[in-house]
């Protein structure tokens, strides 16, 4: 049961505000970034051609195998240059089919739970039922000690207050396996306060010893990271903006990869050597001791190189997520990083490790890109409208969900999620006023010009290394 005492430790009024920086953060060398690093690079657009992106993906897979083999061949596991590639390799050996970027994101969120500054991140993983979103998260969290995760299937509005004495959430991962409870206004408010303020408090009334009502103040100290999954296109709006949102792969090609992975294992041809989770658990425990505050000297350079199209309101919170992921990477690779006045100094290597994954997510929040399924749905609605209009001797006739699903050769749930995403972004408009009747879809706002997720929001700074 919760106690009536406020938490012990530093008084709230005397604690350091989350946005306060030490004076040494503002130190300058007297030289410009260009003088120190070389000439200013141009911002390169990411390959929009699918073939080019497949080649890039294949190259990353080779790098992943090489990094993993190097880490497993040496005793200096914690000094491996890119532990995220080793993680992806081990997750593949543990049975995860592809989903390399998503398993890295989930793991970095988990590592961010240990950060003292910047603060932990949160994310929700979306996908149709049986698409594998929970599998991705479970595989990532298996690399953490069990006591580092507070996993719940559902949660009541005040559950966090009454659980804190038995299972504190400070510097842990709060994993709510289904996001449905987070649609409730009160619980969503509590969780987003935990993410923003890094603690939550509640003043309620309880029965005293004499049976009289007494005020009871309860406080739960954070910070904590949050992970959840959902089959829906979104969760509570204000909480939505505090989390990264990413989709698992629902394509037919991914289904083939999943079945092939399972068939290979069932045929007795899978990896024989079990994944060494113990080395990952020991590394996590090691990170709990020592510096956990991170600075990134090149942060100003990143901001200066971001394009004007990225300067939307959502990017104010998007920047905080970028800080958390860079901080998590620097903490993960702490043995390879320098310290400055007791703080870990993140490098451009940390930025590059997270840039590829976060660029797509931040580009969507800035309205500069959409998931490929959303683009396919909008394009198909336009095509079907013209075709149906010709068939019915009308200028345009809106298709319904069934016609769209059949034309796209996607299952109902994948199509529905893509339609809801398009409606949310106002790229499609539902002309049917009766919510109990099938959609009548029409074209809405123009799609971003970039194809797929090729918009460049986070600049390529490889020339500065």
Delineate the domains of the chain, giving CATH numbers in brackets. 77-205+213-368 (3.40.50.300), 372-443 (1.10.10.10)
Tokens linked to 355: 């840039």
Contacts of 438 by beta carbon, 8 Å cutoff, 6+ apart: 400, 401, 402, 432
Q: Which of 232, 230, 183 is nearest to 423 (CA)?
A: 232
Q: Determine the pLDDT at residue 360.
A: 87
pLDDT (tens, 9 = 90+) of the chain, 465 residues, equals 444 443 434 444 444 444 444 444 444 333 444 444 443 333 334 444 444 444 455 455 555 555 555 555 445 898 999 999 999 999 999 999 989 999 999 999 999 999 999 999 999 998 878 889 999 999 999 999 999 999 999 899 889 998 877 889 999 999 999 888 888 788 899 999 999 999 999 998 888 777 888 888 999 999 999 999 988 766 777 787 789 988 898 888 888 999 999 999 899 887 667 899 999 999 999 999 999 999 999 999 999 999 998 898 889 999 999 999 999 999 999 999 999 999 999 999 999 999 988 998 888 877 788 888 888 889 888 888 877 665 544 445 567 667 777 788 777 777 888 888 888 888 999 888 877 787 788 889 888 875 544 578 999 998 887
Q: Cβ distance 192 to 238 under 8 Å?
A: yes
Residue 373, judged by CB atoms within 10 A of its CB (0-12, 13-18, 19+), counts as: buried
Nearest to 163 by CA among 114, 200, 188: 200
| Calpha distance 114→151 (Å, rounded) | 17
**CA 368 to chain CA mean position, Å:** 18
What is the Cα–Cα distance from 78 to 82, expressed in whole angstroms? 10
Distance CA 396, CA 429 (A): 14
The reported pLDDT for the residue numbered 420 is 84
**Can you give the pLDDT at residue 45?**
42
**Residue 212 has what pLDDT?**
83
Instruction: State the pLDDT at residue 234.
Output: 66
Q: Are 133 and 127 in contact (CB under 8 A)?
A: yes
Whole-angstrom distance, CA of residue 232 vs CA of residue 131 = 13
Select from 191, 265, 274 the least CA-distant residue to 227.
191
Dihedral of the CA atoms 249, 251, 252, 258 (nearest 10)? Answer: 0
């Amino acid at each position: 049961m919760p106690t009536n005492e406020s938490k012990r430790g530093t008084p709230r009024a005397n604690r350091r505000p989350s946005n306060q920086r030490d004076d040494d953060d503002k130190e300058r060398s007297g030289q410009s970034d260009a003088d120190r690093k070389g000439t200013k690079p141009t911002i390169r657009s990411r390959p929009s051609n699918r073939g080019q992106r497949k080649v890039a993906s294949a190259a990353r897979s080779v790098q992943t195998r090489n990094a993993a083999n190097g880490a497993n061949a040496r005793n200096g596991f914690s000094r491996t240059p890119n532990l995220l590639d080793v993680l992806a390799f081990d997750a593949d050996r543990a049975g995860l089919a592809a989903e390399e970027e998503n398993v890295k994101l989930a793991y970095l969120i988990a590592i961010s739970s240990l950060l003292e500054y910047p603060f932990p991140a949160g994310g929700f993983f979306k996908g149709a039922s049986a698409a594998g979103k929970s599998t991705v998260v479970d595989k990532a969290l298996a690399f953490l000690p069990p006591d580092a995760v507070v996993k719940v299937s559902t949660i009541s509005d005040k559950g966090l207050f009454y659980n804190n004495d038995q299972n504190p959430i400070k510097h842990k991962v709060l994993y709510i396996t289904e996001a449905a409870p987070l649609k409730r206004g009160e619980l969503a408010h509590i969780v987003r306060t935990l993410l923003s303020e890094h603690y939550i408090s509640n003043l309620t009334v309880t029965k005293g010893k004499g049976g009289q009502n007494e005020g009871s103040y309860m406080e739960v100290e954070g910070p904590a990271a949050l992970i959840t999954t959902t089959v829906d296109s979104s969760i509570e709006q204000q909480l939505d903006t505090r989390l990264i949102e990413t989709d698992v792969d629902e394509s037919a090609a991914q289904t083939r990869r999943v079945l092939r992975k399972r068939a290979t294992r069932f045929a007795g041809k899978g990896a024989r050597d079990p994944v060494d989770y113990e080395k990952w658990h020991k590394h996590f425990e090691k990170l709990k001791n020592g510096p956990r505050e991170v600075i990134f000297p090149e942060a100003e350079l990143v901001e200066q190189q971001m394009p004007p199209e990225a300067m939307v309101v959502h990017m104010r919170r998007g920047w905080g997520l970028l800080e958390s992921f860079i901080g998590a990477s620097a903490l993960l690779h702490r043995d390879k990083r320098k310290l400055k006045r007791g703080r870990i100094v993140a490098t451009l290597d940390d930025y590059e490790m997270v840039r590829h994954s976060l660029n797509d997510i931040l580009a969507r929040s800035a309205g500069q890109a959409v998931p490929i399924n959303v683009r396919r749905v909008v394009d198909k609605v336009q095509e079907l409208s013209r075709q149906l209009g010709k068939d019915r001797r009308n200028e345009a006739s809106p298709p319904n969900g069934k016609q769209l699903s059949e034309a796209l050769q996607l299952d109902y749930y994948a199509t529905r999620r893509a339609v809801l995403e398009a409606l949310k972004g106002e790229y499609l408009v539902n002309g049917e006023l009766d919510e109990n009747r099938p959609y009548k879809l029409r074209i809405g706002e123009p799609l971003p010009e970039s194809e797929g997720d090729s918009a460049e929001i986070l600049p390529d700074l490889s020339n500065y290394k």
